[in-house]
Structure 1
Amino acid sequence: MHERSKLLADESIGKLLFKLSAPATVGMLVQALYNLVDTAFVGQALGENSIQAIGGISVAFPVMMIVMATALAIGIGGASMISRSLGERDMDRAENVMGNVLSMVLITSVLICVLGSIFITPVLQLFGATDTIMPYATDYLSIILYGSIFFMFALAMNNVVRSEGNANVAMYTMVISAIVNIILDPFFIFSSGYVEFTFFADKFGIVVQPLYVYGLGMGVKGAAIATVLAQTTGALFLIWYFASGSSTLRFHTRNLRPRWDIMKESISIGMGPLARNASSSLVVIVLNNILIAYGGGDVAIAVFGVVNRLFMFTFMPMYGIVQGLQPIVGFNYGARNFSRVMDSVKLSMLVTSTMSVAGFMLLIIFPEQLFSIFTSDQQLISSGKYATRIMVLALPLVGFQVVGASLYQAIGKARPSFLLAMSRQLLFLIPLVLILPHFFHLTGVWMAFPLSDGLSFMLTLVMVLREFRALSVMGENAS
């Protein structure tokens, strides 16, 4: 048995989860940080136009989420199959799956780039771009689309790397691309000259000396170029990893030939994360148009864009735990070690719930300071403070829900995975966003978030308890 497979089978759950999750969590945190920094630099550089610039990135971001959702659907579905194949010691099938993951990434990324470029204006209008936001959104998204192939490759293949238990490489990929993005951002976004990177320093009475920046002054376009170059760097690192022979899996050109059975199973398993991430984009369509209808305008759109970034920073560590959990669950489910599956899930739920509470405390105590990172506009800061403190009320429940949905992905049960992944956004949030503003106006939009989190938690609790009972029975039969 390969060394990594022995770890998945025999290492103590606590140590193994830490080994696999810590790198993923660090990588996800850094990834979320560079999304924050991207928007913060644009907001600081554009000054009096910061609301429109942040709004433009916020409107374009859901399109990136669709690209990400597609890549994750392919990568997570393939990773689940690879983990189970390694658990069953079927290396040939695992390598076949990896080849098909690559084929699907190449085909879908080209389609997204071409179709997205053709229909960029109506797509942005659909996502709620106003006349003042549209130029910034178009500048940003038109460049991002050209880099979609690198973005999708890095996301999908990172999941393949995790499926074989090599979490460190997956972390390095995200950290490298994030560092490149953060270094390039000031150069492409700001014009040459002295820049005061104050962010929220004035809120704490901190004196910050201006720094001289050699920059191209490209604003929103510069942010997009830096992002594409960063994603390309991450993709090149992964290509080097697989080409160097460091992976358990070997690449064979014959495995690029699409196999319908593999593609069908991979996509069906990946429909859960696809639904979750794509539904985020659908939420933006509904929510931005509701915000405009109820008089929120550019400010409310920018508020939601910033809160979305802050939520991502809070959720990313939980997804890091989940990414470490999935190969453990997938391998041991394939090896029919069901008690080990349940133990790893329980520990993960405890850890992510602790993270949820920490994120809740941070966002409810410091919303004003956090919004000051992105802008000095007092209207945007004040509106963001009010909205954030409503939206985070049920955040402590989210960690449990995230792990519950990932359990079904890891064991290859597509339907319950899809249901739990779509529950928060599609099943509960969108109907609440459509109903509550009729009674509470803009406040009703923000109220929809904690209510949907609570309902999704209850659904996840019922399904996970039922699955644990089934795993216990299978464990008794296996013994």
Structure 2
Amino acid sequence: MNGENKMGTMPVGKLMLSMSWPAMLSMMIQALYNVIDSIFVAMISESSLTAVTLIFPIQMLLISVAVGTGVGVNSLIARRLGAKRFEEADLAASHGFRIAFINWAVFAIMGLLFSKTYISAYSDSPYIIENGALFLMITTGFSLFVFIQVNTEKVLQATGSMLLPMLCSLSGAIINIVLDPFLIFGIGFFPKMGVAGAAIATTFGQFISMCLGLTLLFGRKHQVTVKIKGFKFNGEIIKDIYNVGFPAMLMQSIGSVMLFCINGILAFSETAVAVLGSYFRLQSFIFMPVFGLNQGAMPIMGYNYGARNKERLMQAYKVGIIIAAIIMTIGTIIFLTFPEQLLKMFSASDNMLKIGVPALRTICLCFIPAAFGILTSTIFQATGHGMLSMWQALIRQLIGIVPLAWILLKIGGLTMVWWAWPMAEILGLVYSLIFVKKLYKKEIEPLGHENEKYNQEKNL
């Protein structure tokens, strides 16, 4: 357990790639099954796609709570391992699993009681209300699987193990993709379940991922040990988890709140809502690899911050930005060049193409500045400054986009709404530049002086 961790010794570029590619591949597969879900649902009808799109913010909120808590657990474990405080790392992992059950109970109750009320606020179509509410009840009722799955993956990632979490996500995604057509359209002996079939395929895939993750975590030796018995909640550990985890949760849920608001702004057009849903599934192919890179970069940054190694911390940050910028540039080129072909994957009507083609070409202009924002958010979280990440996300995804979208709709109509995304991203870029510079001067630059002093004392 006390051997030198690779996050403190391996060359940073090689380490970043070795730790990131499994998460990047895993999240690409996650994006793939979200898109395939929507492609199959769109084959039923445009109203079915609209129903699933209206549910998407709730799914994002659920994932935000799961991932936000997991990020807090991940960051705390990585920092404690870097500081050689192994017992506290074990406690952080143990708390994460208990918290997962609490989070699940909240969403399951809310889904059971308020699904129809929520859908009815956005649509008066009986078909959309019925199918949307059923989809929501299924996904929230069985959300325990995803809460435990995400926590398991974050614990494994915090120890530097990125391949095992990838295998967990990959297994669930494959199961989901395979089951989708059988359960949606009733192929073979499977019943034809429509939109509900997509929800069941998703939850069953999450169940498989959870089972594999638990097997890998408890069936092998790791630097972190999760305690099942003789365990009591510790207020300080929970506080440490949510010092980073709560802002990360809010940061991710901001995207969900933004979609609530934008769906409301676009409620006058069912087709515009369908376009927005299609965009968010398509852009996940571009953003998910960067979020996978984020997962590989965070434990490296957190470990070396805990180990007071300025050079490796900053090198990880710079390498991460370069890789993210390359990915985002490729994504921008694809969206600018092939918007019609991308939308036709969702059985787009002529009206949907008329609205969607300029929408995709406009929104994708936010991709490249987002690369810098995402990696800057990572260094904020890795150094224990989750609030800086939260405010960055507020500017990029809520304070910026929603008012701009409303104003632009009033000024120039639907075509202008999509400019809210690149404009908000520029605001986020300015914020990131200001505060990462402050963080560097106040906390990161002094790490170099600490190491110099330590080396001088060591040589005396």
TM-score by length of structure 2 reads 0.94
Aligned to 1:41: 40
Aligned to 2:458: none
Task: State the shift of 1:129 in Å.
Answer: 3.5
Aligned to 1:79: 74
CA distance in 1, matches of 2:186, 2:296: 41
Aligned to 1:289: 264
Q: Does the aligned pair in 2 maintain the 1:102–1:256 contact within 8 Å?
A: no
Q: 1:223 aligns with which of 181, 188, 198?
A: 198
Aligned to 1:475: 448
Residue 374 (structure 1) aligned with residue 349 (structure 2): no
Supply the AA of the counterpart residue of 2:416. Answer: G
CA distance in 1, matches of 2:281, 2:231: 36
Task: State the shift of 1:468 in Å.
Answer: 2.6
Residue 160 (structure 1) aligned with residue 135 (structure 2): no
Supply the AA of the counterpart residue of 1:473. Answer: P
Q: Does the aligned pair in 1 maintain the 2:290–2:324 contact within 8 Å?
A: yes
Residue 63 (structure 1) aligned with residue 74 (structure 2): no
5+ residue gaps in structure 2? 453-460
CA distance in 1, matches of 2:2, 2:145: 30
Q: Does the aligned pair in 2 maintain the 1:53–1:220 contact within 8 Å?
A: yes
Residue 443 (structure 1) aligned with residue 438 (structure 2): no
Residue 123 (structure 1) aligned with residue 118 (structure 2): yes
Task: State the shift of 1:255 in Å.
Answer: 6.5
Task: State the shift of 1:107 in Å.
Answer: 0.9
Aligned to 1:263: 238
Flag the 1:99–1:255 CA change in 2: closer, same or farther, 3 A: farther
1:103-142 alignment, distance < 5 Å: 103-126=98-121, 128-131=122-125, 132-142=127-137
Aligned to 1:31: 30
Q: More displaced, 319-328 or 368-377?
A: 368-377
Supply the AA of the counterpart residue of 2:347. Answer: T
CA distance in 1, matches of 2:451, 2:352: 59
Q: Does the aligned pair in 1 maintain the 2:82–2:307 contact within 8 Å?
A: yes
Supply the AA of the counterpart residue of 1:11. Answer: M
1:456-467 alignment, distance < 5 Å: 456-467=428-439
Task: State the shift of 1:443 in Å.
Answer: 2.1
Q: Does the aligned pair in 2 maintain the 1:103–1:256 contact within 8 Å?
A: no
Q: Percent identity?
A: 28
TM-score by length of structure 1 reads 0.91
Flag the 1:391–1:214 CA change in 2: closer, same or farther, 3 A: farther
Flag the 1:76–1:365 CA change in 2: closer, same or farther, 3 A: same
Residue 18 (structure 1) aligned with residue 13 (structure 2): no
Q: 1:307 aligns with which of 261, 268, 279?
A: 279
Q: Does the aligned pair in 1 maintain the 2:101–2:144 contact within 8 Å?
A: yes
| 3-state SS, counterpart of residue 365 of structure 2 | coil
CA distance in 2, matches of 1:10, 1:116: 47
Task: State the shift of 1:469 in Å.
Answer: 3.0
Aligned to 1:334: 306
CA distance in 2, matches of 1:465, 1:130: 49
Aligned to 1:202: none
CA distance in 1, matches of 2:19, 2:252: 23
| 3-state SS, counterpart of residue 89 of structure 1 | coil
Supply the AA of the counterpart residue of 2:334. Answer: L
Deviations along 1:86-123, one digit per CA (max 9) or x if unpaired, are 11111111111111111111111111101221111222
| 3-state SS, counterpart of residue 266 of structure 2 | helix
CA distance in 1, matches of 2:67, 2:123: 26
CA distance in 1, matches of 2:352, 2:364: 18
Aligned to 2:358: 386
1:358-373 alignment, distance < 5 Å: 358-373=330-345
Q: 2:323 aligns with which of 351, 357, 362?
A: 351
Flag the 1:455–1:53 CA change in 2: closer, same or farther, 3 A: same
Q: Does the aligned pair in 2 maintain the 1:39–1:374 contact within 8 Å?
A: yes
Residue 411 (structure 1) aligned with residue 383 (structure 2): yes
5+ residue gaps in structure 1? 193-212
CA distance in 1, matches of 2:103, 2:247: 18
CA distance in 2, matches of 1:148, 1:282: 19
Aligned to 2:169: 174
CA distance in 1, matches of 2:106, 2:421: 33
Supply the AA of the counterpart residue of 2:162. Answer: A
Task: State the shift of 1:394 in Å.
Answer: 2.6
Q: Does the aligned pair in 2 maintain the 1:14–1:347 contact within 8 Å?
A: yes
Task: State the shift of 1:260 in Å.
Answer: 1.3
> RMSD of the TM alignment (CA)?
1.6
Paired residue total: 450
CA distance in 1, matches of 2:144, 2:200: 14
